[in-house]
Amino acid sequence: MPDVTATLDITREVCPMTYVRTKLKLESLPADSLLEVLLKGDEPLKNVPRSAKDEGHDVVSLDPRGDGTHRLIIRKRGK
């Protein structure tokens, strides 16, 4: 697994802020960066990866972390 460029913890956020925060973080990174997003709950688990894909980014992985949270890796595409 390549090194992540940045990490964003949205485990305390609720939709729609979960993807808003993820989107803002992605916008601050250069293309091809890897963003690690720590998330929790059914809605963010479904919505954040889907929204990232809808905006043209790649979902590299989504793994449970054993504490009720998940680790999502997104590769930023575009500019």
CA atoms within 13 A on the CB side of 14: 0
**CA 51 – CA 10 distance, rounded (Å):** 15
**CA 40 – CA 2 distance, rounded (Å):** 23
Catalytic residue chosen out of the listed positions 4, 6, 15, 59: 15
Q: In the annotation, is 38 catalytic?
A: no
Bridge-partner residues for 47, per DSSP?
A: none
Residues carrying an active site annotation: 15
